[in-house]
A and B are shown apart, each in its own frame.
Chain A
Amino acid sequence: MSVEAREARQPWILLAPALSAVTLLLFVPLLFILVYSFWLRTATGADQPGFFLDNWREALTDPFYRDILLSTLRIAAITTAVCALMGYPTAYFIARSRGDKLLMVLLLMLPFWISYIIRTMSWINILGASGAANAALMALGVVSEPVNMLYNEAAVILGLTHYLLPFMILNVFVSLEGIDANVEAAANSLGATRWQSFLEVTLPLSLPGLAAGGLLCFVLGAGTYITPLILGGPRDAMFANLVFEAIITQLNWPLGSALSLMLLLVLGALVAIYNRYLGMTQLMKGLG
């Protein structure tokens, strides 16, 4: 066998274990879901195999699903914006600090050592009727009755921000680190103030990182199901909660399958647009 042929084969040999795992654990189940979404749940509760478009018709035309999809995308968008506004300055601070950057990044990862569910539930102890925030407000005499801060959309956005902010910071940090410090100095030497050189040089050069962080926050935020369950009220259900509802509560696998594929398609389209304009390499850098 020639050297070229061997070299061409090598990546595939190396990739084989990962590829088989992805195929078995991701594509095969997804295929099942796809098949399921065309089945029909009969009145008796049994699933009838076949090729029925009923689930898809219901998922795509029922205003109930459409409204929740839109509000899911809205919540994800707001969360992403909040993460960007809070994360960018933090990432900038870490990237430009003279201290131990590695330690700071490590501290950033610290929350990941605690389960996401527990981190989310901790907000109940902070924002609940007998939580820390209300206790403080009452002790200060600002309010006399506990204020209702939980189980609304704001609490969901807060919980999501708490969960997603590190992803944003890491992505922006990586792209800021990749910018040559002399480039900003060069802009200053040419007459730009620090703010002007930030706007004209640093910010544009870090946009790929901001976009990658934004995509991650948006996709993870839009697919979340635990946060609205724990911190949201009955009317704050997000799309993933509907899937849960359909499959686990109503045992309607065909409808749940169609709904979950719908969310997958919307988010997939978003990733495709991102990939078209910015490419995946930036996202990989931020994750690695």
Chain B
Amino acid sequence: MSSVLLKNIVKRFGDFTAVHKTTLDIPDGAFVTLLGPSGCGKTTTLRMIAGLLDPTEGDIVIGGRRVNDIPIHKRNLGVVFQNYALFPHKSVAENVAFGLRYRDVPKADIPRRVQAALELVQLPDLGARRPRELSGGQQQRVALARAIVIEPDVLLLDEPLSALDANLREDMRVELKRIQERIGVTTVFVTHDQSEALAMSDRIVVMSAGRVEQVGAPEQVYNAPASEFVANFLGASNIVPCMCTRRGPEGATLEAPALGAIAVPAARAPKLREGPAKLVLRAEKLQLLPEGAPCDGRITAPAVVETVDYQGQTVRYFVRIGERQFQAINLIEERPFAVGARVVAAFRPQDCAGLPGT
């Protein structure tokens, strides 16, 4: 087990910079997720840690040792690829045993350790099968067993769940987290799925266009986004231009048209100064109520429903408040509001975040 440190890493392909100067510290035993849209450089970053790509600039340090010049086969990493990359000509047990054969493991111990790894991923009876005789989820588990049986210093996972269907993906998510906690291996997980990232990570690294936008615990990234990009990538947010009229140690006061004064807690407005600012109001935190309903201390504004996007358990509304359109995602109780309905939009100021901006 080891920490991973990326120091001023840059990766260029010809003229194109896939990863801009990035520094990232991944503590020993942490589950860190690289989250971002397609093409933002997640895989490139992961492959540099793995040793499958050389960084153009910067250092990669694993467990206190600079590994830039250490080839992949000496780095002792467990890598799980998006398409699993199992060896099709070898049985499941041979796949899992592969890494052990290249280590100083006594031959007699190999079958026992292979079996233990297969039990850990809950496939104790499939050792004799070929990969093509397995379902996608089973192949996924074999790939994981193959990567962890060598007791890697770091586990690297590139969108390991993206090829699975939605239900299986959620099961595997829990399963993967269970296994990671059990063996306590430092894990770097790549995904573009925000709910996956929020559910599994100790820490999320949000990336965009080759740059790190924010690093933080899931609640932190979700509740106090450091940029408009982060606010929108982790679920839908309403970004409202406003003025910061007062900034104190306990928080900031934002004045937004049609919403009035909003007292945002300091933790959710770390970079805010007095002057032009942006209010971040998550769509899930904006609740629509029938006119005249009690609003117990929340901030309210009259609103008109313009679009209703029914999603089963929830409904997404687009409503007009003053001059602006807002998005609200609400659980459905009884019946959703109809288009044109006059409602009251309500939210709690402590659910809002503030960003500096014009």
Contacts and interface: CB of A to CB of B under 8 A. Distances in A.
Nearest to A197: B73
Given A192-B102, A196-B102, A187 B87 contact: yes
Interface string B310-327: 000000000000000000
Contacts of B75: 189
B73 A186 contact: no
Nearest to B101: A191
A205 B89 contact: yes
B73 A180 contact: no
B78 A182 contact: no
B50 A189 contact: yes
B89 A204 contact: yes
A77 B50 CA distance: 44
**Secondary structure call for the A interface:** helix
B79 A185 contact: yes
A255 B181 CA distance: 79
Interface string B41-65: 0000000001110000000000000
A180 B86 CA distance: 9
A201 interface: yes
B102 A189 contact: no
Contacts of B290: none
Interface string A170-211: 000000000010110111111111001000110011000000
A186 B79 contact: yes
Contacts of B88: 183, 205
Interface residues on chain B, size class: 20 to 34
Given A204-B89, A205-B88, A205-B89, A188 B83 contact: no
Dominant SS among interface residues on chain B? loop
Contacts, number: 63
Contact of B72 (A183, A188, A200, A205): A188
A190 B89 contact: no
The size class of the interface chain A forms with chain B is 10 to 19
Nearest to A180: B85
A186 B80 CA distance: 8
B38 to A, nearest CB: 18
A98 to B, nearest CB: 11
Nearest to B96: A190
Interface string B150-174: 1000000000000000000000000
B102 A186 contact: no
B96 to A, nearest CB: 10
Contacts of A186: 79, 81, 85-87, 146
B83 A180 contact: yes
B81 A190 contact: no
Interface string B73-106: 1111111010101111100000000110011000
Given A180-B83, A196-B102, A189 B72 contact: yes
B99 A191 contact: yes
B85 A182 contact: yes
Contact of B150 (A182, A190, A201): A190
A280 to B, nearest CB: 20
A80 to B, nearest CB: 23
B91 to A, nearest CB: 13
A159 B27 CA distance: 64
13 contacts: A180-B83, A185-B85, A186-B79, A186-B87, A187-B98, A189-B50, A189-B77, A189-B79, A190-B99, A191-B73, A191-B103, A192-B73, A201-B87
- Which 4 pairs show the lowest CB-CB distances between chains A and B? A191-B102, A190-B99, A182-B85, A189-B79
Interface of B: 50-52, 71-79, 81, 83, 85-89, 98-99, 102-103, 146-147, 150
Given A188-B52, A189-B77, A190-B146, 19 more contacts: A180-B85, A182-B81, A182-B85, A183-B85, A183-B87, A185-B52, A185-B85, A186-B79, A188-B51, A189-B50, A189-B51, A189-B52, A189-B73, A189-B79, A190-B102, A190-B150, A191-B73, A191-B76, A192-B73
